[in-house]
Structure formats: C-alpha cells, structure tokens
Structure 1
Amino acid sequence: MAVLIEGISVVIRADAILNKFQGGWDGFVNIVPNETLCADGEIARVGFMTPHDVESFVKGLQSIGLEFLRDGEAIDIAVADQLRGITSTCSWLEFGHTDMDNNGHRIAACRMTGSEVMEIVTPPEWKFENSLSATFGLVPDGQVEKSMKFLRHEGGMDVYLNLLTGKDVFVGRTGE
C-alpha cells in the first residue's frame, strides 16, 4: 500500500510507533496536531504546510523515543516534500507521483520499499478537488516577503495576500 504525500509530510514506520512509542498507536494518534493522518499498516503520514511545523512535530517524536536521522539516513521517521520527494536518504521508503483515478488527478505518494499493493490511503475527509494536490502553490524560502503580505492568523491558519494575484492564501499551521 501507500500513503498520500501533500505539502511537507512526516512519514513514520508503523513498527516504530508500535514498538517505541509509549501508548502505541493510540498514544501516537493523540499527539497528531491536525486532520492529515493516514496510514496503510506499514507507514503513517502526517502533513504540514511549513518547515517550522514539520520540525516541531519531528522534534516531538524524537523526544519520545523515535529516531529521525543517523548519519544522514532516515531511521524511524522520514520527511517527504510533495514536489521533490524524500528529503534524506531512506532505504525503507519509496516516493512517486501517480494519476490516482485515471482522470488526470496527479498526486504524490510514499510506500514501504518493495510493497506490491498499489492502493493509496488518504486522510478520512480528503477529497482531491479541495486538496493541496489540486491547488498546490509554492513560495520558495526567502520569497515570502516579496510575493505575500501577512494579513492575520485565524482558526489555525495564517492568511496572506498574494501580491501577484490579489487573492487570499491560507496556510494551515499547527505550531507557534
């Protein structure tokens, strides 16, 4: 099987959650800060929209016993970018893009290396039409101030004005 990758996703080995995480799966679910969790029985994925929120979540996982990187290689946790793929060496994970329903709905996904099942698991309320896969926009680091104007923080979202299009842009946030 495989899990959806959108925005910047933290991917965790399910066996590490079960063996190293106090409280096992239920304990893990209780610390997930948003509604993006999906799992295929081998890996779990939680999505974020900012590197800062990814870093905070990974640090939280590390503080309770999961290992992120050892000598530059992912151990229990990997990070995958929707456009660029896995951000570090990771022998246990594969990344790719696929047309999820043969209608041109292109998405990114990760699966355990060697997995044969092609089904992709998404969060429970996920619909392509309202997803980052359908509407993804990227502002490179260092360019936010040039193309976006911060307006407000509202309901777990940072709201910006896109200075190029004149439209509001919403960035989901889980951290400070």
Structure 2
Amino acid sequence: MKRINYNILFVLLTTTILLSCKEDKVKKLQNEIEEKIKTGLNDPDSYEFNHFYIDSIEHTSTKELITENLEKIKELQKLNDDKNSEEKIKNLESQNLIFGRMNKYKFTGNFSFRGNNKFGAKILADYRFEADSTYTLMYLMDNTGDTIYTDTEIVLKETDKLIKEIEESTKDKN
C-alpha cells in the first residue's frame, strides 16, 4: 500500500515540476512581447494587458493541405497511370514532408492589450506572434499584418534546422 502512495506522490511531483517550468517560459515570453510592444507605443504608460494565448503552430491550413495531398495520393494510386502518377505521388509526398516539418519546433499565439493612440483615445490592439521551441520570440505582427519585431538569428537557425532534417530524410529514402 505504501509503495502505491509513493508512486502517486512521485508522479504528482514530477508533473508539478514540469508544468511550473513551462509556465516560467511562457511568462518570460509574455514579458518579452510586452517589452517589444511598449517601446513602440505613443503612450507607454497607458498600456494595459488584455489577453495572451499560446498554441502549437500546427496551422489548420497546413493540416488541411496535408489531408488534401493524402486524398490526391489515394486517387492517383487508384488510377495506376504509371510514370505520371508515380511522379505526382512523389511530389505530393515531398510536400507533405515539408509541411509536416516546417513548423515543428515553433509556437504561435495572440497577444492583445489596450493603450492610448496618438490622439489619446483608448484602443484595443491584437498582435500575433511566433516563438521557437525555447519560447523565445521570433516574430511579432500587428493586426494589419505589419511585422513589429523579427529575430533574424533565431529565424535563420530554425530554417537551417528544417533544411538539415529534410536533407537527412531524403538521403534516408535514397
């Protein structure tokens, strides 16, 4: 009976530690975003936090493209049109490989806040962001799509990582 209690205690303790580490990283990301936003405000003292949401970056559109490609592959396999079908299937599989790995190590989310515009009126602004696997800010875009902040060093590292993975996977297939 005591053995079961120790196992439960161990699982609860481990879970608590892991969740608290993630919460610290997310809070650090939120603070980094706030810092970037406040420096560009007309009235930084009017800043009021509103909402912060982070999600894995598996975009619905990317999932939809992968699903569409899989359906096309099934249709082409039924046709058995030899070379033409095989080449199209290879292209669709390559696209799915790239789509699947493209944003594997990133997170995306929304960040909204209130502040005074240049006329002194209170506004609600909604920004989108991307962060890498260590919850370090990569991109910050406003609601019109303009980029407010880009960390080019991290973007280049993530792109290099993606290219290496794709090269390794194509070597494995050959």
Taking structure 1 as the reference length, the TM-score comes to 0.22
Larger-Rg structure: 2
Of Structure 1 and Structure 2, the greater strand share is in 1
Taking structure 2 as the reference length, the TM-score comes to 0.22
Q: Which has the higher contact order (CA 8 A, sep 6+)?
A: 1
Of Structure 1 and Structure 2, the greater helix share is in 2
